[in-house]
Structure 1
């Protein structure tokens, strides 16, 4: 595999991992909103923190590309929804 293809694949993987992490955080927030017990709220905060680390890694790896910024915005919205519960 040549270097350019290998780099493109790695960059795609970074976005996929970030997307999955943001989706996991969104799902945890939905669960916390439908059943706002402390355990679910804490789990949602943990998922958001994980997604934020994924965001940081993606930005370091790829820069502020449009897909990363969109996922970062989605994550910020999830955090705000969760803060309303806590």
Structure 2
């Protein structure tokens, strides 16, 4: 059985992993917007895929919905930016 401290640490870790994944999307998006090459757009798509996996993991393993919802909104915004970037390419 998991004690409260361990459960809290795991919640924080899952949310931190999600936050890091979404930060990676934002970084890749910034680079792609500055230099919209096919390779840069592919990098954004790859980081979005990784962030989607981290998001599903967070929903499965975390008890705290509010930070996950905020991060999911950020990810959805990045997905819209990606679609716009691909249309403008």
Query: What CA RMSD, in Å, does the superposition of the two structures yield over aligned residues?
Result: 1.3
- After TM superposition, the score normalised by the length of structure 2 is 0.91
**Number of residue pairs matched?**
85
Return the alpha-carbon distance in structure 1 between the equivalents of residues 75 and 27 of structure 2.
11
TM-score (norm 1): 0.94
Corresponding residue for residue 45 of structure 2 = 45
1:78 is aligned to: 78
Q: Deviations over 1:38-85 (max 9, x none)?
A: 000000010011001000000011256110000000000011101111
After the TM superposition, which segments of 4 or more aligned residues of structure 1 sit over 2 Å from their partners? none
